[in-house]
Structure 1
Amino acid sequence: MTDEQQQRATPEVAEAVTRPASRRGPQLIWLIPLVAALIGGGLAVNALLQRGPTITISFKTADGLQAGKTMIRFKDVEIGTVTAIDLAPDRSSVVATAQLSKTAQDLLLEDTRFWVVRPQITGSSVTGLSTLLSGAYIGVDVGASKKSGRAFVGLETPPIVTSGLPGREFVLHTGQLGSLSIGAPVYFRRIQVGEVVAYALDPGGSKVTLKAFINAPYDQYVTASTRFWHASGIDVTLDSSGIKVDTQSIATIIAGGIAFQAPPSLPVTEPAAADTAFTLSANYAEAMKPPVTEVQRFLLYFDQSVRGLTPGATVEFRGIPLGEVTAVGLSFDPDSITFRIPVEIAFYPERIQAELRKGSAPANAAGFSRTVLDTLVKRGLRAQLKTGNLLTGQLYVSLDVFPTAPKAAVDWKQNPVVLPTTPGGLVAIEDKLGAVAAKLEQIPLDKIGKDLQATIENADKLLAGINSELIPAARTTLQDASQVLSTANGALAPDAQLQQNLRGALSEVSEAAAALRNLANYLEQHPESLIRGKPEDEQ
């Protein structure tokens, strides 16, 4: 192989050529961190712009709360998260710090309410069951204040009524709370129209104040004349028509409740304003009693036992309630060494629709005038105790007019004024029985017994004499009478001579009567024969 062929067989190798270094920009790979940093910065700025306010909520305990997990919800929409839970400086509560979204800023008003939603079972409702799976969360109820806030005190129980719910709230005053609680139902004609939202003891401790919310449109039925009463449990009434059992619903038997209604006799008035105060009565009968504006107090003294007479017992006039007993006591008179039982009553004269209250000179504002009351007492007005229930022995005070009652007068010197009384009920019966027994004791039963014994002995002697003397004489007389009757029977027999003589006499009398009849007929036809005689031809 020649050199020329070897050169052809060997491939050509490019020669390296040196070039001068060129100035190029930064590499594209460095743009990736830069873009990431820009995106992160943008997200951070956006997060800062979207970040809402931070608030603190204090609760008594942190039960159900977890930092970083417990959500804050408004109308089931998450608006924030609890970020931290700390103990308050005074260690009386816990403080939960929460971060809210920017959209929730307008919800943070001074009177906005927060509470922990947990499963809760009461006598009238069951709430928060969904939290068994999702966990507890903090609920929000937006207030109506115009000022914003950042520190709040959480509620320990969920509010019964949230803001914006149509209706009105009313205040109720009662002496006993009974079985009522927050959430207890309020009924109108057996329809649930509201709930009890709060209650508290009055500062003096004598009454309990409740707040009841009535939903619209039922709140318009609450007027100035509306009456509220306890509808808890079962109301059992025993009267002349039998036993009556009344209850609003099964829920009121368990958890209690309230009912309201206006008396049918009163006219319909305008709806009451919100926060109007009413009295919560113990039952329907007490609620429907006429209102009392005039009260006249009297004092009654009784010498008999008042067992069964308690404060609150009615004062009636011929079956019409006109007042009630307010106090029952015991007094001792050292001068006469006797005990007396004073009973104070409250009399409501406005319940009497009398003509004296329509004239130009009616009773004064405190009740009956002195003249009218003195006149009634002179006519026999008295107070007495009567049994209202034979089973329980309950007593009541009855006012009535007793024309035959002993004379008495009103004692105007004492305060309250003292009205005269008269024994009543079993005491009157006992007095009558005692009088009868006293009269019976005056009867000489021993002397009457001796006289009666002597009379019986004399009667025995008389009967013995009759048996020994009168009976034989009577027997002889009967025998003689029998003989006379036998003789009479023989004389009156058909074949007796007396009977034949009687028949002959009767026959002759008949013939004489016929002759007289013929003579009378002849004289009637020939009256002249009395003067001339009988004609010769007829002779």
Structure 2
Amino acid sequence: MSRPPDNRSPDIPDAVAVPRKRWRMQLVWLVPIVAVLIGGWLAVKAVLDKGPTITISFATGEGLEAGKTKIKFKNVDIGTVTSVVLSPDHRSVIARAELAKDASRLLVSDTRFWVVRPRISGGTVSGIGTLLSGSFIGMDVGTAKTSRSDFVGLETPPVIATGVPGREFILKGDDMGSLDVGSPIFFRRLQVGQITSYALDGNGKGVTMHVFVNAPYDKYVKDDTRFWHASGIDVALDTNGVKVNTESLVAILIGGLAFQTPEENADKNEAAVGEEFSLFRTRDEAMKRHDRIVDKYVFDFTESVRGLSVGAPVDFRGIVVGEVAAIYTRFDPVTKQFSIPVEIRFYPERFTSRYKGGEKRGRIAADPHQLGDWLVARGLRGQLKTGNLLTGQLYVGIDFFPNAPKATIDWNANPPELPTVPGGLQSLQDSVSALIARLNKIPFEGIGNNAKQTLQDADALLKRLDSEVVPQARSTLAAAQAALNSANTALQPDSPLTQSTADTMRELARTAAAFRTLADYLERHPEALIRGKSEDKK
């Protein structure tokens, strides 16, 4: 077969067909493939390194900003808020945040979150640094074992962080006073704790407070420890006078609590965590003896009880043996009279309290009814007394009045009624009233008329004396004066009567001398009475 003529130039070689390789890879695709592999590895690494996502519900979004607000634990950034939106019911704000991977073990059921912003509470100032850096979300890790991803943020920061050594206790009181979260707790004027939270009781009759006492001071909280309000300045006016008590300058300004254990119970066991205590208004009320045996009685007074208040002491010869529990009024339809029943709490143990070593012995007698009848029969009575003249406070005194009217106790009444006697002032008023009543019975008008008549008769008598008796009296006095003058003249030294009297006295002296001589002779010569005087022999 002849070949067609070749018109190409003899210098151009002939093309030779080469078979194409089906799976041959071009170098141009190497770069995209490497980029895809790197991107995939970065994506997987990002997923593997991504931390947990949580949601926190707050009452308000104040201080929260998506992409800027940080979450800090011990002042270290561990996450960022990614979004802030309203809740479906529009009652709260939900903040979504992404945390670091190593923070996942911190998210337990009792972990707490709160917004850190400048605050002044309980005398402490916190969050001042956020004025420059902006608000952030604080975090306190709990101790639970279960994990959690949705939380409810606190409106106020926790006062005590988790893990701080110490113990928490519960206080029950009538009101909060000037206390607040963060208010200090004092022990012997040293600050040892704080109030962590409070709430109104369900029945509305009191408040419940949670307090935290730091270690090592928590060991001084015993089973019989007493807590009381140490807020401000406590000024008391009672039967003991004026009292002013303060705890510290901090307590005066912001309030606080204090506690102490009575010396006789200082060796009791330490209180357990969460133990409940009563909160008293004052230290005196808190440290008052808590008696195991309490009897209730009533004193029925007919006089004014102004100045007597609930809590006033019941005193027996200077020893407080009870206190006033209530004061009422009573109207007796039979006698048509009003009276003031005063209910008291009586502590019989205080009559048997130890003054040396040993325990209390309870009641004085096994049968209190028999003992009460015996005491009342011997004059045991209640009486209102003035405890302080400055304040006018009264108290109930118990003592024996042997001359008091006879009385008995009705033990069927609840509570039994003890007899009374009028108070000292009332007794004085009764005596004055009785004296005035007696004076009113005296017929002063008749006495006045009689006195007037008597004065008239006396005046007539004086006039008669002046007209009749006085002239005669003058004559008598003149005669008496003359007699006195004569006697005076006769008694002059140079008068005849005086000279005669002197001569007579001289003669009497000579006669007495002669008799004395005769007596001496007869004593020497008694025979002369028979024989006569013998002649002298020459």
TM above 0.5, yes or no, is yes
Measure the CA separation in 1 of the matches of 2:134 and 2:485: 133
Residue 535 (1) aligns with residue 536 (2):
yes
Residues 81 and 95, structure 2, Cα contact 8 Å, conserved in 1: yes
CA distance in 2, matches of 1:279, 1:331: 34
Say which SS state the counterpart of residue 466 (structure 1) adopts.
Answer: helix
Partner of 2:262: 263
Amino acid at match of 2:536: P
Partners of 2:534 and 2:47 lie apart in 1 by: 182
Aligned to 1:7: none
Mean Cα displacement is larger for which, 164-173 or 236-245? 236-245
Task: Identify if the C-alpha distance between structure 1 residues 503 and 314 changes in structure 2 by more than 3 Å, giving closer, same or farther.
Answer: closer
1:333 and 1:496, CA in 2 relative to 1: closer, same or farther beyond 3 A?
Answer: closer
Deviations 1:427-481 (A, max 9, x none): 4444333322222222222332222222222222222232223322332222222
Seen in structure 2, the aligned counterparts of structure 1 residues 370 and 470 have a Cα distance that, compared at 3 Å, is same
Supply the AA of the counterpart residue of 1:166.
P
* CA–CA separation in structure 2 for the residues paired with 1:310 and 1:240: 10
**1:233-282, CA deviations, whole angstroms, 9 ceiling, x for partnerless residues?**
21123478864322112222232211111223445323222212111111
Going from structure 1 to structure 2, the CA distance change for 1:332 and 1:50 (only over 3 Å counts) comes to same
Native 8 Å contact 1:223 1:271 kept in 2: yes
- Taking a change above 3 Å as real, the CA distance of residues 358 and 134 of structure 1, as seen in their structure-2 partners, is closer
What is the distance in 1 between the residues matched to 2:523 and 2:383? 100
Q: Does 1:413 align with 2:415?
A: no
Partner secondary structure for residue 95 of structure 2: strand
How much does 1:116 deviate?
0.9
CA separation in 1, counterparts of 2:362 and 2:412? 28
Corresponding letter in the other structure for 1:280 = L
Question: Which residue number corresponds to residue 14 of structure 1?
Answer: none
In structure 2, do the counterparts of structure 1 residues 369 and 261 end up closer, same or farther at CA, with 3 Å as the change threshold? same
Find the residue that maps to 2:439 and give its secondary structure.
Answer: helix
- In structure 1, what is the equivalent of residue 174 of structure 2? 175
Q: Using the alignment, how far apart are the partners of 1:228 and 1:390 within structure 2?
A: 32
How far apart are residue 129 of structure 1 and its match? 0.8
Deviations 1:158-197 (A, max 9, x none): 0111111111111111112211111111111111111111
Distance 2:361 2:267 in 1: 29
Q: Specify every segment of 5 or more residues in structure 2 that has no aligned partner in the other structure, as ranges.
A: 1-25
Match of 2:17 in 1: none
Q: Which moved more, 1:443-452 or 1:292-301?
A: 292-301
2 CA distance for matches of 1:234 and 1:115? Answer: 35
1:143 aligns with 142
Question: Which is worse superposed, 423-432 or 278-287?
Answer: 423-432
Question: Which residue of 2 is the match for residue 468 of structure 1?
Answer: 467
Q: Name the counterpart of 2:252.
A: 253
1:127 aligns with 2:126: yes
Change (3 A) 1:241 1:533: farther
Q: Helix, strand or coil for the counterpart of 1:351?
A: helix
For residues 120-155 of structure 1, what are the alpha-carbon distances to aligned partners after superposition, in whole Å with 9 as ceiling and x for unaligned? 013511111111111111111111112222221111
- Unpaired runs of 5+ in structure 1? 1-24
3-state SS, counterpart of residue 199 of structure 2: strand
Separation of aligned partners in 2, 1:222 and 1:174:
18
Report if aligned partners of 1:123, 1:254 keep a CA contact under 8 Å in 2: no
Q: 1:523 to 1:234 in 2, by over 3 A?
A: same
Partner SS for 2:154: coil
Q: Percent identity?
A: 52
SS of 2:81's partner is strand
The structural deviation recorded for 1:400 is 3.5
Separation in structure 1 between the aligned mates of residue 259 and residue 362 of structure 2, nearest angstrom: 39
Corresponding residue for residue 486 of structure 2: 487
Partner of 1:378: 377
The Cα of 1:286 is off from its aligned counterpart by: 0.7
Q: Residue 52 of structure 1: SS of its match in structure 2?
A: coil
User: Any idea what SS the aligned residue of 1:345 has?
Assistant: strand
| Aligned position for 2:80 | 81
- Amino acid across the alignment from 1:222: V
Conservation of the 8 A alpha-carbon contact between 2:349 and 2:360: no
Distance 2:46 2:60 in 1: 32
1:406 counterpart SS class: coil
**Aligned residues of 2:352 and 2:364 also touching (Cα < 8 A):** no
Structure 1 window deviating more from structure 2 (236-245 vs 162-171): it is 236-245
Partner of 1:101: 100
2:302 and 2:517 map into 1 onto residues whose CA distance is: 107
Q: Which residue of 1 aligns with 2:447?
A: 448
Moved more, 277-286 or 459-468: 459-468
- Give the direction of change, closer, same or farther, for the CA distance of 1:361–1:284 in structure 2 (3 Å limit): closer
- Work out the CA distance in 1 between the residues paired with 2:426 and 2:517: 98
- Secondary structure at 2:250 match in 1: helix
User: What is the RMSD computed on CA atoms of the aligned residues?
Assistant: 3.6
Alignment of 1:107-122 (within 5 A): 107-122=106-121
Secondary structure at the residue paired with 2:51? strand
Cα distance in 2 for residues equivalent to 1:104 and 1:378: 82
Paired position in structure 2 for 1:19:
none
Could you tell me whether the CA contact under 8 Å between 2:240 and 2:388 is conserved in 1? no
Work out whether residues 123 and 251 of structure 1, in 8 Å CA contact, stay in contact via their aligned partners in 2: no
Match of 2:16? none
Map 1:16-415 → 2, pairs under 5 A: 47-238=46-237, 243-306=242-305, 309-332=308-331, 339=338, 341-353=340-352, 363=365, 369-388=368-387, 395-415=394-414
Q: Give the C-alpha shift of residue 346 in structure 1.
A: 3.0
Q: How far apart, CA to CA, are the structure 2 residues paired with 1:520 and 1:332?
A: 107
Distance change >3 Å, CA 500–CA 342, structure 1 → 2: closer
Distance in 1 (CA, whole Å) between partners of 2:384 and 2:527 is 109
**Alignment CA distance shift 1:149-1:232 (3 Å):** same
Q: Which letter maps to 2:181?
A: I
1:426/1:259 CA distance change after superposition, 3 Å: same
Which of 174-183 and 467-476 deviates more? 467-476
Change (3 A) 1:380 1:519: closer
- In structure 1, distance between residues paired with 2:342 and 2:509: 106
8 Å contact 2:122–2:254 — kept in the other structure? yes
Whichever residue aligns with residue 215 of structure 1, its letter is: N
Distance in 2, matches of 1:334 and 1:293, equals: 38
Output the CA distance in 1 between the equivalents of 2:478 and 2:456: 33
Q: CA deviation at 1:397?
A: 3.9
Structure 1 length normalisation: TM-score?
0.82
Q: How far does residue 69 in structure 1 lie from its aligned partner after superposition?
A: 0.9
- Please give the secondary structure, in 2, of the residue aligned with 1:181: coil
Give, as a single letter, the amino acid of the residue that structure 2 aligns with 1:183: G
Q: Distance in 2 between matches of 1:349 and 1:172?
A: 29
Measured against aligned partners, the alpha-carbon deviations of 1:347-381 in whole angstroms (never above 9, x if no partner) come to 332333279x98899546xxx62211222222233
- Cα 1:527–1:441 change in 2 (3 A) is closer
Q: CA deviation at 1:529?
A: 9.2
Secondary structure in structure 2 of the residue aligned to 1:63: coil
Residues 52, 101 of structure 1: 8 Å contact kept: yes
Q: 1:224 to 1:360 in 2, by over 3 A?
A: closer
Report the count of equivalent residues. 507
Amino acid at match of 2:351: I
